[in-house]
Amino acid sequence: GPRMLNLLISTYENAVLQNRELTATQQALEDLNQHLEQKVLEKTAALRQSEMELKEAQRIAHVGNWILDSATNQVVWSEELYRMLGLDPTLPPPPYTEHHRLFTPESWKRLSTALPRTQETGIPYELELEIVRGDGSMGWMLARGEPQLDAKGSIVGLRGVAQDISERKRAEAAIVTSE
């Protein structure tokens, strides 16, 4: 009877209201998702721009950087560090066992002593090192390294920068020979 009809109408009206609410919620979620996707695109573009500016700054200043993960022994070099050493940046960095070829024996001895010391003690190093580039030409770099710490303060790797100081060293040598 009429009671059943009222119950059906009431149930139908509730279903219509819930459907409208669901549709509105779904639209709000779609709008939010579209907004978030736009923000991600904007942040990604800003990050790419920042990365490009950092690469340009490193190129102009002749400064490269590197990171060593102690757990994996994985090394990452910046493009400028590859350029400084006369190596191809599309290739992975040479393994640590080959790094001695990038320096004169005296410079390698100092660097290969400083790296584990910094790894163990956390004390940063700064060294002027004579390099042997991929084409065999010689140069100089000012290398600085420091520990990379985890949230607990434990050393989990090393990071550093290298600046090409070949021009400065040539100028110093010219002054010494002219005296």
User: Which tens digits make up the pLDDT trace of 60-101?
Assistant: 999 999 999 999 988 999 999 999 999 999 999 998 889 999
Q: Are 133 and 86 in contact (CB under 8 A)?
A: yes
Residue 4 confidence (pLDDT): 87
Question: For residue range 95-127, what is the model confidence (pLDDT) as tens digits?
Answer: 888 999 999 999 999 999 999 999 999 999 999
Long-range pairs of 75-82 with CB within 8 A, sequence gap ≥ 24: 79/55, 80/55, 81/162
Q: Are 146 and 160 in contact (CB under 8 A)?
A: yes
CA-based R_g, the chain, Å? 30
Which of 127, 108, 118 is closest to 148 using CA atoms? 118
> Which residue shows structure tokens 């990604």?
44
**Contact of 165 with 140, CB cutoff 8 Å:** yes
DSSP code for 95: P
How far is it, in rounded angstroms, from Cα 115 to Cα 81? 17
Under the banding of pLDDT at 50, 70 and 90, the label for residue 179 is confident
Tokens linked to 109 = 């001895």
